[in-house]
């Protein structure tokens, strides 16, 4: 098959003339939604729904606080959202899942030598505890896994401090994920990982870490950029560094939880689904407003906007608020396992999980033919200047669907400050901006409604 045919193979149209005709028909059909898109945008940005998603997020996060997997706060968050979605007139239900349950407990770290200093730390998810009396040991500071290997003979009995530079989250997060096991292989007794952030005001950032099978599990926590660099400088001067670390973290049996689902049923093809999503859980610090309260709220707000305008698409619009995303998309994987039998009916899966700052573009993963459709859809966003369609829709929770061939979309926002606050005490409502959330909600609603109402599903 030629490249031309691959890129323009719409639903069995095989000749260039027929394909061209089909493309023109799609362009005309999507353009017919211009007035509806303007109505949605006007309602969200300037109308009665202005600031609504922000107010909802404020009420939610101020009432519940942070919501780590397995916690009572997460249970309360799910109940809160179930009731709020019901009161909003949506079809709402809960789908049970099992999720990890790790408790941070009390934790502290202090430098003993070459001078006394308290170190701000946050233990990493699933870390084991220290002995009750703590661990006091000399520190080995390294800047990479390669340096650790070169200095393997020095690691025995030490607390390894990783002072890796921040390159990008995708690259640098390997130290948080794997640092403990890599150090344990060489006889280290604990690890302290420089927080995965480009900016700090003495703020540690927590997150997921993963012990490797067959490797001794040692306590592990993140420290601040400032303290990691301080110990690096001390080590370069040849000073002996000793740290005392105390952690009483523990892992409990898997907890019962739920993915929270709200819908507007399609009038013609209710079995076909456009899925919008964000995750309801957070870490146990800050308020979880940015990560990912904002994503959850705009996925609710999109349905509210559509309902307020009396719109009902051909297909079902389904908002899913995932549980235990921070532990590796646990709730979403169980959702996929339950619903993949109906995978042919999933038209588009959408996830917002990189903040709800000012939207820049829509990111999309799908066939060339589907991309042609989506290029037309985003043109409807001209009133808010977000007509760009970028490659690579992303999201931990929707990745199983995309890997199986379902088209996927995510928000690209002006996220230069995202990792300043990510997984830290700084993730609060102060980070959020009401107009930015209105714009994200408008984009989310327009894309979901139009794709859900087109004559045909997006081509695979």
Active-site entry in 325, 326, 351, 376: 325
The whole-angstrom separation of Cα 384 and Cα 309 is: 19
The whole-angstrom separation of Cα 242 and Cα 249 is: 22
Kindly report whether the peptide bond that precedes residue 292 is cis, defined as omega within 30 degrees of 0.
yes
The whole-angstrom separation of Cα 303 and Cα 397 is: 19
DSSP letters spanning 251-280:
EEEEEEEEEEEEEE--SSEEEEEEEEEEE-
Region at 311 (left for phi over 0; alpha for psi -120 to 50; beta for the rest) = beta
Contact 280, 323 (CB under 8 A): yes
Edge to edge, the sheet with strand 359-365 lists 91-103, 250-264, 315-322, 269-279, 346-351, 408-413, 359-365, 389-391
Catalytic annotation present for 325? yes
Number of Cβ atoms within 10 Å of the Cβ of 105: 13
Q: What is the DSSP letter of 33?
A: T
Q: Are strands 346-351 and 117-119 parallel, antiparallel or unpaired?
A: unpaired
Q: Are strands 359-365 and 389-391 parallel, antiparallel or unpaired?
A: parallel
CB crowding 73-82: b at 16 or more within 10 Å, else e: bbbebbebbb
Give the contacts of 319 (CB within 8 A, at least 6 positions apart): 90, 261, 262, 263, 275, 276, 277, 299, 300, 302, 303
- CA angle (148, 223, 63) in 5-degree steps: 145
Helix/strand/coil for 49:
coil
The whole-angstrom separation of Cα 193 and Cα 175 is: 7
Active-site positions read 325
């Amino acid at each position: 098959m030629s490249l031309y045919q691959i890129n323009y193979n719409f639903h069995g149209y095989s000749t260039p003339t027929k394909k061209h005709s089909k493309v023109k028909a799609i362009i005309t059909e999507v353009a017919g939604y211009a007035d509806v898109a303007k109505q949605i945008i006007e309602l969200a940005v300037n109308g009665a729904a202005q600031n609504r998603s922000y107010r909802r997020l404020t009420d939610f996060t101020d009432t519940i606080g942070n919501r780590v997997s397995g916690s009572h706060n997460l249970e309360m968050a799910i109940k809160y959202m179930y009731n709020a979605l019901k009161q909003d007139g949506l079809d709402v239900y809960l789908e049970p899942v099992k999720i990890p349950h790790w408790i941070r407990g009390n934790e502290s770290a202090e430098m003993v030598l070459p001078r006394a200093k308290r170190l701000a730390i946050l233990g990493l998810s699933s870390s084991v505890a220290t002995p009750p009396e703590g661990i006091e040991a000399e520190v080995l500071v390294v800047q990479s896994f390669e340096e650790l290997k070169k200095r393997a003979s020095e690691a025995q009995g030490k607390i390894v401090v990783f002072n890796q530079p921040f390159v990008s989250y995708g690259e640098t997060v390997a130290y948080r994920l794997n640092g403990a096991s890599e150090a344990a292989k060489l006889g280290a007794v604990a690890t302290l990982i420089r927080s995965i952030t480009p900016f700090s005001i003495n703020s540690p950032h927590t997150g997921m870490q993963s012990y490797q099978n067959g490797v001794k599990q040692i306590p592990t926590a993140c420290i601040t950029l400032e303290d990691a660099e301080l110990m690096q400088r001390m080590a370069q001067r040849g000073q002996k560094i000793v740290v005392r670390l105390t952690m009483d973290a523990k892992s409990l049996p898997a907890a019962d939880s739920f993915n929270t689902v709200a819908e507007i049923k399609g009038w013609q093809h209710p079995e076909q689904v456009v899925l919008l999503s964000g995750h309801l859980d957070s870490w146990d610090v800050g308020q979880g407003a940015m990560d990912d309260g904002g994503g959850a709220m705009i996925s609710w707000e999109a349905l509210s906007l559509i309902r307020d305008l009396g719109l009902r698409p051909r297909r079902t619009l389904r908002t899913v608020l995932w549980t235990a995303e921070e532990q590796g998309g646990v709730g979403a994987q169980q959702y996929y396992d339950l619903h993949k039998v109906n995978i042919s009916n999933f038209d588009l899966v959408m996830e917002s999980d990189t903040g709800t700052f000012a939207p820049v573009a829509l990111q999309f993963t799908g066939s060339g033919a589907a991309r042609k459709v989506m290029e037309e859809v985003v043109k409807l966003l001209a009133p808010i200047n977000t007509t760009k369609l970028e490659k690579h829709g992303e999201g931990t929770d929707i990745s199983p669907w995309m890997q199986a061939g379902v088209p996927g979309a995510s928000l690209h926002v002006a996220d230069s400050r995202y990792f300043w606050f990510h997984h830290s005490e700084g993730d609060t409502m102060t980070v959020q901006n009401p107009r930015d959330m209105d714009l994200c909600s408008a984009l989310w609603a327009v894309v979901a409604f139009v794709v859900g109402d087109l004559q045909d599903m997006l081509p695979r």
